[in-house]
């Protein structure tokens, strides 16, 4: 009996509460730490500058005082928040080579990453609905997409994921971590954290799938429905120039949707057996950092109104000087 008690005590000591984790990040690329710091620092500056510029343009230019650009400004602000959850930590880790992160900081990072990711899914669905109303019901557009409706849809997108993602984060961090405290990732995301958990995590994995279906699949299906109706309406337009103009207003948004949802879906909806640490890291890098960097370019370079507003702003500044 005393032998059994000793074995149980030994098992309990193996499941000791982890107080901090180590984010391995890009530690395997030891010769490239300085180069990677420069690259990520440049990317962060591009993201902040590009998205801030879109927010400023949509606020200052009267031609951009439309629901489409109101949603775009919110989306740009969201991208700044989203990337600020991960990139500063990556830069600190690369600069100091101290990769430790407390359990509370790790849980906080995951919670904000999940909440802002859910917001992005629903905000992209709202933007698709806006394009649907504009193209399929142009006469009712000012009535349907009034200021109150725009604010309600935006606020709804921002808050809908908060209680669920706080609950999911609390559930995951209620697990015991005994395998290791080393996270083979650059941020505290669900797949690498679950790999460190002791015992059976099947119920938690099912929970992750259910939440992913609600917050990824449902908005994506709404976007597909919106765009199927948009494309059907565009193809019925009598002139080629009308079709080209309608397609150009939607193509930027559709490209962003494919980039974000593609990488996000593969990350969260793949079976655990298919998860590879390096693939997870690459996909997370894509939807948390690369996509926010390209979004301002996609929206500005493919949008005549935004380009015109930018030229006006630059020309006004040059004439003042």
DSSP string spanning 254-309? HHHHHHHHHHHHHHHHS-GGG--HHHHHHHHHIIIIIHHHHHHHHHHHT-HHHHHH
What pTM value is reported for the model?
0.86
Instruction: Assess whether pLDDT exceeds 70 at residue 272.
Output: no
**pLDDT score of 38:** 95
Name the packing angle between helices 240-269 and 291-301 (round to 10°): 180
DSSP state of 217: I
| Cα torsion angle, 177, 183, 184, 185, sign | positive
Q: What is the pLDDT of residue 165?
A: 94
CA distance 59 to 179: 51
Q: How confident is the model at residue 317 (pLDDT cuts 50, 70, 90)?
A: low
Are 217 and 58 in contact by the 8 Å Cβ rule? The answer is no
**pLDDT at position 142:** 92
The answer, yes or no, to whether residue 214 has pLDDT greater than 50, is yes
Residue 7 has pLDDT above 70, yes or no: no
Rounded Cα distance, 97 and 24, in Å: 10
Element (H, E) at 243: helix 240-269
pLDDT of residue 32: 86
- pLDDT over 60 at 3, yes or no: no
CA-closest candidate to residue 277, choices 195, 197, 198: 195
182 forms beta bridges with: 22
Chain centroid to Cα 168, Å, comes to: 17
What lies within 8 Å, CB to CB, of 163 at 6+ separation is none
**141, pLDDT greater than 90:** yes
pLDDT band, very low/low/confident/very high, at 163 (cuts 50, 70, 90): very high
Query: Across residues 255-261, what is the average pLDDT?
Result: 83
> What is the pLDDT at residue 188?
92
Strand partners for 23: 183
C-beta of residue 199 within 8 angstroms of C-beta of residue 259: no
Helix, coil or strand: residue 312:
helix
If you average pLDDT over each of 7-21, 42-56, 175-189, 273-287, which comes out highest? 42-56
Q: Is a pLDDT exceeding 70 seen at residue 302?
A: no
């Amino acid at each position: 009996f005393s032998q059994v008690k000793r074995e149980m005590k030994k098992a309990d000591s193996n499941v000791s509460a982890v107080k901090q984790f180590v984010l391995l990040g890009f530690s395997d690329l030891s010769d490239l730490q300085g180069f990677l710091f420069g690259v990520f620092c440049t990317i962060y500056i591009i993201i902040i500058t590009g998205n801030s510029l879109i927010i400023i343009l949509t606020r200052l230019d009267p031609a951009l005082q439309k629901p489409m650009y109101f949603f775009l400004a919110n989306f740009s602000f969201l991208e700044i928040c989203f990337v600020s959850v991960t990139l500063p930590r990556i830069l600190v880790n690369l600069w100091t080579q101290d990769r430790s992160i407390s359990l509370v900081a790790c849980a906080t990072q995951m919670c904000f990453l999940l909440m802002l990711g859910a917001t992005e899914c629903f905000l992209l669905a709202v933007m698709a609905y806006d394009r649907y109303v504009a193209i399929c019901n142009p006469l009712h557009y000012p009535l349907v997409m009034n200021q109150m409706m725009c604010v309600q849809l935006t606020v709804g997108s921002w808050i809908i994921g908060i209680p669920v993602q706080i609950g999911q984060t609390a559930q995951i961090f209620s697990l015991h971590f005994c395998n290791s405290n080393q996270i083979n990732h650059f941020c505290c995301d669900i797949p690498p954290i679950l790999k460190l958990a002791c015992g059976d995590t099947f119920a938690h994995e099912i929970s992750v799938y259910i939440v992913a279906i609600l917050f990824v699949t449902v908005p994506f299906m709404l976007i597909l429905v919106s765009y199927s109706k948009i494309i059907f309406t565009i193809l019925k337009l009598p002139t080629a120039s009308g079709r080209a103009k309608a397609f150009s207003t939607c193509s930027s948004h559709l490209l962003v949707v494919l980039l974000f949802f593609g990488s996000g879906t593969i990350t969260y909806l793949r079976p655990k057996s298919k998860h590879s640490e390096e693939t997870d890291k690459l996909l997370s890098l894509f939807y948390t950092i690369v996509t926010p960097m390209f979004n301002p370019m996609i929206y500005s370079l493919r949008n005549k109104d935004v380009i015109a507003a930018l030229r006006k702003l630059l020309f006004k500044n040059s004439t003042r000087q």
